Chain A
């Protein structure tokens, strides 16, 4: 055998052994990979799910509503707590009570005896008074505008605005809506007729259907 032949043979041996080692490494790698994904009860399984679960947003613990009357000259917030105080002071069976913004009355909701806190409050707003105290949504000099105030109140206290928009306030609201839209706050709005009272209720009929509630 010549020296050249012996060198060729040695080279082929090295190549064959290298290939064999490569195959073994590949097999070990495959076995290792298989083990790591072998069933989710394996200790090395990935803990975080690849697809997060996103449920439909049935709001079970709603934000606190903050009602706003939208009129021709601007907006005015319903001082709901003033009515709560007035009703509390007047006591049981008091009938309608007066606040600066209008008349309100508390009633038990429905005849059937359900939850302790079933109620119905009807509020007749004094629109002249509301118009006189309405504020334009644009920021006054040196103060944040209404949009910023609403966004902040939602973020800090989960107070979500509910706009009752009278025909005269539609232009004001259209602009406000555009500015609020996409700011990450929850809001509702309803067109409102001047002669209609505002009724806030909690009663069993709200749960007759599994409807999306605020």
Chain B
């Protein structure tokens, strides 16, 4: 019938309304999805407030250390993390304690020097080991230890990390200077890395750095291992914060050990490039590395990336990192 409105029955009207409501809901949902706003729902919730981040017992101690670190940095700047060692002629890049420090082998016999030199000159592993063999039984503890470490180093150079680990485990450390013990820990860590056991490497590197704060390679490799652990998806929040703190301490220490700041900048740009600015902890490392290497522009770019890349770390850890990144906004040094 032309010009006559058709009345809708009440039952049909109710169903139509329900359909309409459902349709509207679906439309809103689709709109959100297509506009990209659904990404908000997919992203993790906003990091918890700082007080909450440190509320868990497991986090409390680490939060204290984290705060102490930043207080030191605020008070003294990067100098707060400088390495102080007694030796005035420290060579941080030395591969062994004897290269980093002087006179550690003053009690070694002349023949021990002779055999060690020949072993170092030789390029045949079997011959090296034969020359070192009698030194691993030397009376002097430091000589004995040094020969043992060298044997493990040869195993690593041959590509036999498990053998290197066994040799290190058998070493007697009594009477051996801490700096030389650091060599053994470093070899163990390097072997663990070759075996893809990053947790063991992390522990060994911590021992190496604790034993010799001036050991450049231990600090550098530790930074790399911690970085690798930080990009792993499954980690404990306290471990995440401890690793980030260790990296910052290392970076600060490396500024005092580096011969020039290019070395530091290399570390920062490695962190910057290799993770495509997706991990807040590593971007914090890049931020500080660039800052301390005197590149505030790049530091600011890295800092800005910290707050826009959430969800890559445990929430409590991430919240604390973001808090520091936000606090650094506008700072130049």
Contact = CB atoms under 8 A, between A and B. Distances in A.
Q: State yes or no: do A and B come from one complex.
A: yes
Contacts of B315: 39, 41
Where chain B touches its partner, the secondary structure class is helix
Interface stretch (B113-121, B170-178, B285-293, B301-309): B113-121
A34 B42 CA distance: 5
B178 to A, nearest CB: 16
Contact of B119 (A117, A118, A210): A117
B288 to A, nearest CB: 18
Interface string B216-241: 11001100100110011111110010
Contacts of B25: 19, 23
B248 interface: no
Contacts of B228: 49, 53
Interface residues on A, range: 35 or more
B314 A62 contact: no
A139 B93 CA distance: 43
Contact of A9 (B12, B124, B146, B259): B12
A98 interface: no
A140 interface: no
B131 interface: yes
Given A37-B44, A51-B275, A64-B157, A210 B235 contact: no
Contact of A39 (B113, B127, B313): B313
Interface in A34-58: 34, 37-43, 45-49, 51, 53-56, 58
Interface in A154-185: 157-159
Contacts of A87: 118, 121
Nearest to A84: B122
B332 interface: no
Nearest to B227: A53
Interface in B102-118: 102-103, 105-106, 108, 110-114, 116-118
A36 B158 CA distance: 43
Contacts of A132: none
A72 interface: no
B328 interface: no
A60 B44 contact: no
Contacts of B258: 210
A118 B117 contact: yes
A108 B105 CA distance: 14
Contacts of B275: 51, 53
B123 A66 contact: yes
A8 to B, nearest CB: 6
Contact of A158 (B103, B118, B122, B159): B159
Contact of B117 (A16, A83, A108, A158): A108
A113 interface: yes
A112 B123 CA distance: 25
B247 interface: no
A134 B273 CA distance: 47
B177 to A, nearest CB: 13
Interface in B36-54: 38, 41-45
A61 B153 CA distance: 7
27 contacts: A12-B15, A34-B41, A34-B43, A41-B236, A42-B234, A45-B234, A48-B232, A49-B228, A53-B224, A53-B228, A53-B274, A55-B270, A56-B270, A61-B190, A64-B123, A64-B125, A88-B118, A113-B103, A113-B106, A115-B105, A116-B105, A116-B112, A117-B119, A117-B150, A204-B91, A208-B259, A210-B258
Across the A-B interface, give the 7 residue pairs with the lowest CB-CB distance, nearest first: A115-B98, A12-B15, A41-B314, A19-B22, A117-B120, A119-B117, A117-B116
Given A39-B311, A45-B233, A119-B117, 7 more contacts: A9-B9, A13-B18, A38-B44, A40-B234, A55-B224, A56-B270, A81-B122
